[in-house]
Chains A and B, each alone.
Chain A
Amino acid sequence: MLGNRKRPMNAARKLACVVVLAVCAVSLAANWLAPAGYAKQFREAPSAPPSRQHLLGTDEVGRDRFARVLYGTRISLLLAPASALVSTVLAALVGGLAGYLGGIWLRLARGFTDLFLSLPWLFLLITVRAILPLNVSPLVSVLITFLVLGLLGWAASARVLSTSADALRNSDFVLQARASGLHGSRLFLVHVLPNLKPVLYAQFWISIPVFILSEANLGILGLGVAEPLPSWGSLLRELEGLISFREEPWRLVPLLLLMVVMTSFQLLLSNQEASV
């Protein structure tokens, strides 16, 4: 298989991998670590500082901030890969097929991806998000947010995939397969698609941090996941009421966690980006 040589992982990348896995594991254990849940209100202690009962204090309506961080991390970290999967599949369909078919299909696909890429990402996101209903249940809002990210985030990956598929179409082994009588979907599925796998994996992993940041931006602007469900976006929105860092430094925990996870992704992906 072309370009599938594995590179050794350095210490920084190993550490980044451990950090991402640890954060995922802790967020998955939210039910045991914070049994009270993300929506329970402790009405006797609104805006409370950290204590043994509430490790990161409570928010304005008395919800445990530690529980909300754990559940919010779970939502953001599980659904961003789901969006990345949707966008990578779409990119493979549009870019991979267009590159494989070539000619007018490739030109059409490139024109369409250019149109998508020329739209500023955040403008496109808020336009499409606003077109869909805003007054929906929290669960539907989660699905809409991450589906919108997945359905709109395919263009850059499709551009890369169309170039790779175009190069494969003209490669010697594909020409030989054609000469041997292999055509159509079988040629694509047996010879082209397996060789696109490294690019597909790279695009999938590159999309995850982009979608995490996009969800955070949408959440802060009030166009993301609806209350009371937490996500990194809605948790970061709480920073809006912060007057100074010294007064309530524990409110910066979601931001620090997001930065740690994003830095880990950057370290993990530095190799992937170089290989594309």
Chain B
Amino acid sequence: MFIRKTLRRKALLSKIVRHLASIAALVLLGGLLSATLVRLAPGFDADERDLDPSLNAESVRALRQSRAGEQHILSFYAGYLFGVAHGDLGTSHALGQPVQNLLRERWPVTVRVAGLGLLLAWLAASALAFTACLWRLPAYEILGTTLSGAFLCIPAAVLALLSVILNAPGYLAIALIVFPRIYRYSRNLLAKAYSLPHIIAARARGLGEVRILAWHVLPVAGPEMIALAGVTVSIALGASIPVEALCGLPGIGQLAWQAALSRDLPLLVNITVLVTLVTLLANSGADVMTYMLKPREELA
């Protein structure tokens, strides 16, 4: 018993370490790719100040020399990494403010809007999926499928626009964007779990529905639903761009949109790397939790 526990703990620890190592590698590689894209983007070495008539030739030359270190991709990336290690993510070209300050100001809004949207979507989708599987009424299933299908057909930005027209809060738009994905996946998972022979047998023996759900269905469908939770974080963060941009919410999504429109590449790349990091952490967290919830017999 003790040996099995120790082995399990060791396996869990090595899983966490592997995840952290792969996250570090992916972020480094993603950062290098982003830096390369920024460096190769048209108009990278152009600066509006070069055309400023109030600057003399010597000042313009000094400005160009200050950008000379950014010419080589690897040295540009090394400089960027050095800055990141010291808490300096660079300065936004369009807003003229340090990127880390902008992220610090905007992040809480996104966490609140995306978090509330996710919570609402999960509550609505899982309630609908559970009841659809419990009651097994064709009309109810058709309602759920039609509702989720309709929301899947509408672009996220249109749902954001509709929420503005109808004076609905931004998190509701995020909930409606995420809801159909959760509903369809969890509905299929639950239907699969309910069709397992031991659950059919439990039903035939007259076991209560709540007991079947808690003791037999959730242990089967739970791990995959946790994995889905990790994926929905990424969907909610992606949805935050149109929702925050069109609903006028000052979060990371709106900042990314403003950076894209003004081609503020340093800011945009930092936001993308940060969002990727959050997504990877959410997915890895879900993976580790799934591992922890798996029955011991299965792991053995």
Q: Residues of A at under 8 Å CB distance from B?
A: 114-115, 118-124, 126-134, 213, 216-217, 220-223, 233, 236, 239-240, 242-245, 255, 258-259, 262-263, 266
Contact = CB atoms under 8 A, between A and B. Distances in A.
B34 interface: yes
A166 to B, nearest CB: 20
B249 to A, nearest CB: 14
Nearest to B241: A122
A263 B146 CA distance: 10
B200 interface: no
A244 B165 CA distance: 7
A123 B272 contact: yes
A82 B43 CA distance: 29
Given A118-B280, A123-B237, A240-B161, A130 B263 contact: yes
Contact of A119 (B30, B38, B152, B260): B30
Given A123-B271, A223-B261, 20 more contacts: A115-B33, A118-B30, A118-B276, A123-B241, A123-B272, A126-B260, A127-B256, A127-B260, A127-B272, A130-B268, A131-B37, A131-B41, A133-B43, A134-B263, A216-B155, A220-B242, A221-B241, A221-B242, A236-B161, A262-B154
Interface residues of B, number: 48
Given A114-B26, A221-B241, A123 B157 contact: no
Nearest to A128: B37
A122 B156 contact: yes
B29 interface: yes
B153 A258 contact: yes
Nearest to A121: B238
A130 B265 contact: yes
A108 to B, nearest CB: 11
Given A217-B155, A262-B153, A131 B265 contact: yes
Interface in B274-294: 275-276, 279-280, 283
A133 B245 contact: no
B181 to A, nearest CB: 13
What 5 A-B pairs are tightest by C-beta distance, nearest first?
A: A262-B153, A220-B157, A130-B260, A120-B238, A216-B155
Interface string B99-117: 0000000000000000000
Interface in B127-180: 149-150, 152-158, 161-162, 164-165
B272 A132 contact: no
A115 B261 CA distance: 25
B225 interface: no
Contacts of A217: 155-157, 242
A85 B265 CA distance: 29
Nearest to A236: B158
User: Chain A interface secondary structure, helix, strand, loop or mixed?
Assistant: helix
B182 interface: no
Contacts of A255: 154, 158
Given A127-B269, A258-B153, A220 B260 contact: no
Contact of A131 (B26, B38, B157, B238): B38
Contacts of B265: 130-131
Contacts of A118: 26, 30, 234, 276, 279-280, 283
Contacts of B193: none
Contacts of B239: 122
Contacts of B257: 126, 221
B30 A132 contact: no
A255 B158 CA distance: 8
B256 A126 contact: yes
Contacts of B241: 122-123, 126, 221
A268 B287 CA distance: 33
B268 A221 contact: no
Given A126-B260, A130-B260, A120 B237 contact: yes
A245 B153 contact: no
B259 interface: yes
Contacts of B295: none
B26 A132 contact: no
B38 A123 contact: no
A137 B168 CA distance: 37
30 contacts: A115-B26, A118-B26, A119-B30, A120-B275, A122-B156, A123-B238, A123-B241, A123-B271, A124-B272, A126-B256, A127-B34, A127-B37, A127-B256, A127-B268, A127-B272, A130-B268, A134-B261, A213-B155, A216-B155, A216-B158, A217-B242, A220-B161, A221-B157, A221-B257, A221-B260, A240-B161, A242-B161, A242-B165, A255-B158, A263-B149
Contact of A120 (B37, B42, B234): B234
B246 interface: yes
B26 A266 contact: no
A221 B150 contact: no
